[in-house]
Structure 1
Amino acid sequence: MPKKIVIVVQARMSSSRLPGKVMMPVLGKSLLAQMVRRLLMIRHTATVVIATSQEAEDDIIEQEAHKLKVACYRGSLDNLLDRHYEVGELYNAELVVKIPSDCPLIDPRIIDQTLSYYFDHKNQFDYVSNLHPATWPDGNDVEVMTMDCLNNAWENATRQLELEHTTPYIWENPDKFRIGNLTWETGLDYSMSHRFTIDYEADYQFVKRVFEELYPKAEDFSCQDILDLLERKPEIYELNSQYAGVNWYRHHLDELRTVGTDQTKDAPETAIELI
């Protein structure tokens, strides 16, 4: 088992569709704080680092990290690959886990499952995720990569989408990396039908409602707890269902070799996108 696992949470205030989303309040805490709390629930020993930019507007994120007593690194605004690499180097990581800050409902059990899958297949993979293909509800994104793998991407990636989204150079080149994928043990695929991530105001209303319903009963509520809640109260599902399946892939289908039209969809025409 690696000596050092580092979880990198990429966060910034300048979201194009929902500015400042990571600091929006839920039950008296920021979404970022609620997410970090969930990350700290995992069974594996790991260091959590919030990676933000050097822009002045992201000072508040550094302040929040200090308040949460977790590490903070400040780097490039748009080159997320560089941010992840620099954090890995700075904290002597052997494994880097990429968790986007727009996944405040992420189930810590799924992070543990993905890490265990990597460890159970000792020396078989450079990169393991639950995203290629995805099966869990969107917003449970876990990507695990060795530092050597991340270093390779950092040295060789050149396309803007590779720099901005950190890992495409890896999973787009299965001939260069040993890639593993963990699928949902239920055999179901809710990746295009259920959305637990946050990018729009409707997503915020969904996430806020889920926390209000489940957090008071069990702070470590699971993905299954959320699905059970949506069965009992389908009106919560409807809050952001129009965005289910909408993700960043849709803007790069002409550039991506391993992603097809069945893995993304366009945002509704009613959605205002400031891209």
Structure 2
Amino acid sequence: MADGLLNKKVAFIIQARMQSTRLPGKILLPLPLGSGKPLLSWIIDEVKKSKHTAEIIIATSVNPENDVLVSFCEQNNVGYFRGEEDDVLSRFTAIAKSGDYDCIVRLTADNPIIDISILDDTITEHFSKANDYTSTAGLPTGMNFEVISTATLLDLENYSLTATDREHVTLFVRSSGKYSLGVFTPAINPLLKTLRLTVDYPSDYALLSSILAQSVLDENQKGIKLVAQTFHLYPWLFETNASNFQKGNYATLAEELAHVKPILEQYEFKKVLSLLDSKTPQN
């Protein structure tokens, strides 16, 4: 890795809040079950290992339920910022303005398995290709990253964005056609792409608890190596959460329907499918 790229300043912004419909307080739950290590700590500990010059900031909201998250940050000497609950983009923008950052890495607090080597390679790819935005592809759900140049993030202030754009932070960058987009695809077993490694449902927590228990026993088992080994030894384990629904960020109605229809087909909602098929989706 070129020294010049290492000297560029990166902000790892971890989007976090305590509110969760399906699994309240999940980001501070002990992981694995019975351990004293909160889910959020897995993310923080791994990004601290980055080779890039970086700062870690937890981006949360001013809602009172997040006071306990702020206490966690203060007790663990982790930077944090509190902003609006629904306007997540405004949190990222405020953080971007607070430091001399060359790029922002967007992470979410419900994705505890970080492969720091792949993350560092993605950042390097972003800088070397001079992209406005770079994302990963081919990794399990919950292991992909987004890297956005600070100038690009701040440029969003020049546009009239929708509430959805502001909630999902990078949606306008990805869908507007105004920015240069790059994709970094690490070489891994393609079967791993279908796995779900985010924590949203209790069954997700059970799976991640089982996987990370192995990392507690062997600290050399991290990131995609840990996932690949677990998949090789215990492929049946990933059936635990295979049927869980993962909501995406959709730019059009057609994209949303394309995601929803297979789920309706799985549960044989034939009348709803018939109604959808009789309509022409509007963008």
TM-score after normalising by structure 1? 0.85
Q: Could you tell me which residue of structure 2 aligns to residue 216 of structure 1?
A: 217
Q: 1:65 to 1:266 in 2, by over 3 A?
A: farther
Contact 2:171-2:251 within 8 A present in 1 as well: no
Deviation at 1:172, TM superposition (A): 0.5
Change (3 A) 1:38 1:162: same
More off after superposition, 46-55 vs 19-28: 19-28
Separation in 1 of the partners of 2:73 and 2:247?
Answer: 26
- Partner of 1:7, secondary structure, is strand
Q: Is the 8 A contact 1:135 1:189 kept in 2?
A: no
Task: Pick the aligned partner of 1:32 from 32, 40, 49.
Answer: 40
Counterpart amino acid of residue 22 in structure 2: R
Displacement, 1:266?
A: 4.1
The corresponding residue for 1:249 is 248
Could you tell me whether the CA contact under 8 Å between 1:96 and 1:144 is conserved in 2? yes
Q: How do 1:152-231 residues align onto structure 2 when only pairs under 5 Å count?
A: 152-174=155-177, 176-186=178-188, 188=190, 190-191=192-193, 193-218=194-219, 221-231=222-232
Say if 1:248 and 1:265 are closer, same or farther in 2 by CA, change over 3 A.
Answer: farther
- Flag the 1:253–1:150 CA change in 2: closer, same or farther, 3 A: closer
The structural deviation recorded for 1:165 is 0.9
> How far did 1:253 drift?
6.3
Q: Are residue 81 (structure 1) and residue 89 (structure 2) matched?
A: yes
Distance apart, 1:17 and its partner CA? 2.4
1:261 and 2:266 are equivalent in the alignment: no
Distance 1:265 1:17 in 2: 22
Match of 1:272 in 2: none
The structure richer in helix per residue is: 2
CA distance in 2: counterparts of 1:139 and 1:6, whole angstroms:
19
Q: Is the 8 A contact 1:247 1:265 kept in 2?
A: no
Q: Give SS of 2:12's match.
A: strand
Counterpart in the other structure of 1:71? 79
Deviation for aligned residue 1:265: 5.8
Write the letter of the residue equivalent to 2:13: V
1:101 maps onto 2:90 in alignment: no
The letter for the 2-side match of 1:185 is: A
Q: Does 1:13 align with 2:18?
A: yes
Change (3 A) 1:42 1:214: same
The amino acid across from 1:23 in the alignment is L
Report SS of the residue matched to 2:21.
coil
Q: Residue 17 of structure 2 contacts residue 69 of structure 2 at CA under 8 Å; is this kept in 1?
A: yes
State the number of aligned residues: 258
2:153 pairs, out of 150, 154, 162, with 150
2:225 and 2:79 mapped to 1: Cα distance? Answer: 30
Give SS of 1:248's match. coil
Q: Relative to 1, partners in 2 of residues 1:237 and 1:187: Cα closer, same or farther, differing over 3 Å?
A: closer
Which amino acid counterpart does residue 4 of structure 1 have in structure 2? K
Which of residues 59, 62, 74 is equivalent to 1:54?
62
Letter matched to residue 55 of structure 1: N
User: What is the CA distance between 1:103 and its match in structure 2?
Assistant: 0.9
Deviations 1:94-144 (A, max 9, x none): 2111011111112112211111111232x3x111111xxx31111112111
Identify the match of residue 128 of structure 1 among 127, 134, 143: 134
Q: Cα gap change, 1:156/1:264 in structure 2, threshold over 3 Å: closer, same or farther?
A: farther
- Post-superposition Cα deviations, 1:188-214, rounded to whole Å, max 9, x if no partner, equal 2643x2011111110011111111122
CA distance in 2, matches of 1:31, 1:157: 36
Render the CA deviation track for 1:228-259: whole Å, top value 9, x for unaligned.
1122112321221222xx32227x463477x8
Query: Which one-letter code corresponds to 1:254 in the other structure?
Result: T
Q: Secondary structure at the match of 2:211?
A: helix
- 2:9 pairs with 1:4: yes
Classify the secondary structure of the residue corresponding to 1:46: strand
**Aligned partners of 2:105, 2:260: CA distance in 1, in Å?**
22
Which of the pair has more CA radius of gyration? 2
> How many Å apart are 1:215 and its aligned residue?
2.5
Normalising by structure 2, we get a TM-score of 0.83
